[in-house]
């Protein structure tokens, strides 16, 4: 058996004339599969090696960090920097988890009816507005947010971050879900209306279960965006969470990771901070990686469905 390998080449003729030539090659299936595996492996190594190197620095003896040539295997482990950093990061992680989970819920509650309105009631202006808001840099919002929460005496609180985070997640989520709903046939809702269902009941009982992959993809993306917010927490937060209720202190784990920047600590201290910096990176990445691995099937279905829409 043979596979067809297509290569398109653009050639330049006289003047500005260009001609595209398509070249077809018949290659055996095993050669084509081997080529796919090699390209996939190289791409995977390219993407995962920085993560592996970060985890390696966080868990090996510090004396091995600057040896030449670099050691790619953890010959001598030292978990004390990671454990110490994890203990210090606890209040920041709790804040980020709470804010991201609430922002995820708010995003779904706001984006799903907005997307339904766009796809069913011809309110395209709402979609255009959401895309415009998503395109704005986050710095466009921080001064207004700071002024609002300053007047409400809500600076350095979880509430300020929980309300602010959906500003950056709802527009993109509305666009994703509107593609889902545009691909969904209307006859489900028409049949429900014949049975006496109101539009709200049809949306809640008929439409939402049908777009479950899209909802899960939206939830994951909104969680990741909220988890990685940096500028807004920097402006609205002052101290770490004090493990009290109502919660005071709202510094997030992204801010915690910046505390170990060697460029801002001087050469003598910066040399000793690499294990802590790598440990902070691992702590920052672990929840997102775990959530993505757990929901990857739904995420791929959701994004494929949204792209087709």
Please, which residues have CB within 8 angstroms of residue 283's CB and are 6 or more apart in sequence?
85, 86, 89, 93, 253, 257
- Same-domain status, 172 and 86: yes
- Same-domain status, 222 and 155: yes
- Same-domain status, 48 and 24: yes
Q: What is the pTM of this model?
A: 0.79
- Same-domain status, 11 and 59: yes
Domain's final residue, options 37, 64, 91: 64
- Same-domain status, 26 and 93: no
pLDDT at res. 236:
94
pLDDT at res. 229:
92
- Same-domain status, 54 and 124: no
pLDDT at res. 237:
92
- Same-domain status, 57 and 109: no
pLDDT at res. 265:
45
- Same-domain status, 18 and 150: no
- Please count the structural domains in the chain: 2
On whether residue 129 sits in a domain, the answer given is yes
On whether residue 74 sits in a domain, the answer given is no
Kindly tell me if the per-residue pLDDT of 21 is higher than 60: no
187-237 residue pLDDT tens? 877 888 888 888 788 888 888 888 888 888 889 889 999 999 999 999 999
258-285 residue pLDDT tens? 887 666 544 344 446 788 888 999 999 8
pLDDT at res. 24:
55
Chain-centre distance for alpha carbon 245: 29
Q: Give the percent of the chain with pLDDT over 70.
A: 83
Q: Which two tokens stand for residue 262?
A: 């060697």
On whether residue 255 sits in a domain, the answer given is yes
- Same-domain status, 300 and 151: yes
On whether residue 124 sits in a domain, the answer given is yes
101-130 residue pLDDT tens? 999 999 999 999 888 888 887 777 777 877
CATH of the domain at 300: 1.10.3720.10
**Alpha helices (runs of H) in 60-165, residue ranges in sequence order:** 80-120, 124-135, 139-151, 158-164
Range of the domain at 36: 2-64
Mean pLDDT of the chain: 81
- Same-domain status, 47 and 152: no
Residues facing residue 20 across a β-bridge: 10
DSSP assignment string, 221-275: HHHHHHHT--HHHHHH--S---S-SS------HHHHHHTT-GGGT-HHHHHHTHH
Residues 94, 49: Cα–Cα separation, whole Å: 28
Q: Confidence band (pLDDT; 50, 70, 90) for 34?
A: confident
pLDDT at res. 209:
85
Please, which residues have CB within 8 angstroms of residue 85's CB and are 6 or more apart in sequence?
58, 260, 275, 276, 279, 280, 283
pLDDT at res. 267:
39
- Same-domain status, 140 and 34: no
- Same-domain status, 100 and 249: yes
pLDDT at res. 225:
92
């Amino acid at each position: 058996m043979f596979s067809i390998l297509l290569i398109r080449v653009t050639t330049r003729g006289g003047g500005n004339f260009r001609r595209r030539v398509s070249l077809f090659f018949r290659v055996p299936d095993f050669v084509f599969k081997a080529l796919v595996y090699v390209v996939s492996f190289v791409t995977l190594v390219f993407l995962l090696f920085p993560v592996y190197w970060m985890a390696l620095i966080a868990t090996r003896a510090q004396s091995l960090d600057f040896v030449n040539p670099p050691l790619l295997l953890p010959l001598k482990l030292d978990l004390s920097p990671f454990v110490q950093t994890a203990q210090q990061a606890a209040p920041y992680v709790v804040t980020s988890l709470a804010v991201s989970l609430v922002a995820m819920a708010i995003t779904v509650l706001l984006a799903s009816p907005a997307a339904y309105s766009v796809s069913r009631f011809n309110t395209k202006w709402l979609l255009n507005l959401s895309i415009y808001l998503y395109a704005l840099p986050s710095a466009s919002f921080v001064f207004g947010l700071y002024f609002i929460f300053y007047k409400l005496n809500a600076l350095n609180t979880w509430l300020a971050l929980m309300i602010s985070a959906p500003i950056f997640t709802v527009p993109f989520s509305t666009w994703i879900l509107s593609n889902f709903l545009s691909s969904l046939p209307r006859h489900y809702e028409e049949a429900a209306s014949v049975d006496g269902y109101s539009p709200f009941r049809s949306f809640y009982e008929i439409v939402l279960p049908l777009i479950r992959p899209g909802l899960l993809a939206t939830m994951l993306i909104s969680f990741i965006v909220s988890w990685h917010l940096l500028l807004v927490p920097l402006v609205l937060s002052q101290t770490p969470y004090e493990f009290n209720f109502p919660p005071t202190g709202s510094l997030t784990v992204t801010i915690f990771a910046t505390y170990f920047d060697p460029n801002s600590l001087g050469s003598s201290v910066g040399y000793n901070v690499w294990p802590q910096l790598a440990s902070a990176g691992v702590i920052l990445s672990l929840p997102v990686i775990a959530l993505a691995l757990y929901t990857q099937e739904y995420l791929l279905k959701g994004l494929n469905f949204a792209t087709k829409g």
